[in-house]
């Protein structure tokens, strides 16, 4: 009788194993989570005199690395025209007017009335959402043509994308308190305390994080000071690639992977805001 009981128990156990195995075989495969989508809020598609990467190649890069939006500029503005004309599926293209014709304009645009004419002419295309990225340092921002540019942006509901030190950003804000500024690189290596002070003082200032140092330590861990910044101002930061040279295009996937590595150390809600939500909110509706 004992032998019979053992036999029934063994049959019961075997039956349970077979049922579990069958269920596992029938269950659909678990899909790996897709990487968080990114809005690239600092992208250049320069044509001097032609792009290093063809249009289909850059569009493929965006799709491969789950970049679903771009704030795009180019030198001259021809590259931006091409990205707008492409009307790529699944990609939000937000065009900004670059106040440069050639690279040397970086050093002189703010004192050249011809550049202000360029900005006004480009604006007639009807689809621009901002002006920049442009370069300013210190008191060079006090120039009358810079003020005209700031006032033009405010009058037409445009953002300014400023590669500038904190002094120049302050001057831009003094030109017109209604200015809306995306701060390229968020001061590069400016102390986190000063970044905090700037964000606190100017509610219409957003920090774009390409080339920004101090966010992670040598081991890739999010630093305490930047964690505090992100948690205090989760709605004030944007990500960007800054593809100003071919090498940045060549390392595009690494740049996006680097962002995702430290975003994963934040809460999902904050990570989503910085990765794409803030940019979507800024550019949700036309001016």
pLDDT over 50 at 167, yes or no: yes
pLDDT, average across residues 214-236: 97
Higher local confidence (pLDDT), 26 or 263: 263
pLDDT over 60 at 14, yes or no: no
pLDDT over 90 for what percent of the chain?
Answer: 85
pLDDT of residue 34: 87
Per residue in 231-286, pLDDT (tens digit) is 999 999 999 999 999 999 999 999 999 999 999 999 999 999 999 999 999 999 66
pLDDT over 90 at 226, yes or no: yes
Count Cα atoms within 13 angstroms, Cβ side, for 16: 5
pLDDT over 60 at 44, yes or no: yes
pLDDT, average across residues 107-130: 97
Average pLDDT, the chain: 91
pLDDT of residue 4: 45
Q: How far apart are CA 256 and CA 239, in angstroms?
A: 9
Higher local confidence (pLDDT), 20 or 44: 44
Per-residue pLDDT band for 157 (boundaries 50, 70, 90) equals very high
Cβ-based neighbours of 121, under 8 Å, separated by 6 or more:
none
pTM over 0.75: yes
pLDDT over 60 at 17, yes or no: no
pLDDT, average across residues 93-97: 98
pLDDT of residue 48: 83
pLDDT, average across residues 75-87: 97
pLDDT of residue 33: 77
pLDDT of residue 5: 43
Q: What is the 3-state secondary structure (H, E, C) of 95-121?
A: EEECCCCCHHHHHCHHHCHHHHHHHHH
Q: How far apart are CA 168 and CA 185, in angstroms?
A: 14
pLDDT, average across residues 65-75: 98
Per-residue pLDDT band for 83 (boundaries 50, 70, 90) equals very high
pLDDT of residue 6: 47
pLDDT over 60 at 192, yes or no: yes
Q: List domains and CATH numbers for the chain.
A: 38-282 (3.20.20.140)
Q: How far apart are CA 184 and CA 174, in angstroms?
A: 18
Q: How far apart are CA 56 and CA 226, in angstroms?
A: 36
Count Cα atoms within 13 angstroms, Cβ side, for 102: 2
pLDDT over 70 for what percent of the chain?
Answer: 88
pLDDT, average across residues 180-203: 98
Q: Assess contact for 133 and 42: CB atoms under 8 A.
A: yes
């Amino acid at each position: 009788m004992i032998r019979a009981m053992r036999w029934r128990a063994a049959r019961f156990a075997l039956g349970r194993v077979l049922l579990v195995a069958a269920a596992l075989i029938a269950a659909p495969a678990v899909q790996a989570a897709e990487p968080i989508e990114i809005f690239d809020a600092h992208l250049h598609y320069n044509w001097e005199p032609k792009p290093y990467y063809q249009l289909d190649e850059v569009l493929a890069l965006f799709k491969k690395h789950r970049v679903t939006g771009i704030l795009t500029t180019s030198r001259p503005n021809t590259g931006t025209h091409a990205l707008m004309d492409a009307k790529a599926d699944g990609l939000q293209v937000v065009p900004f007017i670059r106040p440069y014709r050639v690279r040397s304009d970086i050093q002189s645009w703010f004192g050249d009335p011809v550049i202000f004419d360029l900005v006004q002419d480009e604006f007639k295309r009807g689809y621009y959402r901002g002006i920049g990225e442009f370069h300013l340092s210190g008191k060079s921002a006090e120039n009358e043509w810079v003020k005209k540019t700031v006032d033009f942006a405010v009058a037409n509901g445009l953002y300014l994308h400023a590669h500038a030190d904190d002094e120049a950003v302050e001057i831009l804000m003094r030109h017109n308190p209604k200015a809306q500024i995306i701060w390229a690189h968020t001061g590069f290596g400016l102390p986190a305390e000063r970044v905090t002070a700037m964000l606190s003082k100017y509610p219409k200032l957003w920090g774009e994080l390409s080339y920004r140092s101090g966010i992670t330590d040598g081991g890739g861990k999010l630093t305490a000071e930047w964690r505090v910044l992100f948690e205090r101002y989760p709605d004030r930061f944007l990500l960007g690639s800054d593809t100003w040279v071919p090498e940045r295009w060549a390392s595009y996937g690494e740049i996006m992977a680097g962002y995702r590595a430290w975003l994963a150390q934040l809460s999902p809600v904050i990570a989503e805001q910085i990765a794409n939500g803030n940019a979507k909110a800024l550019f949700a509706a036309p001016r």
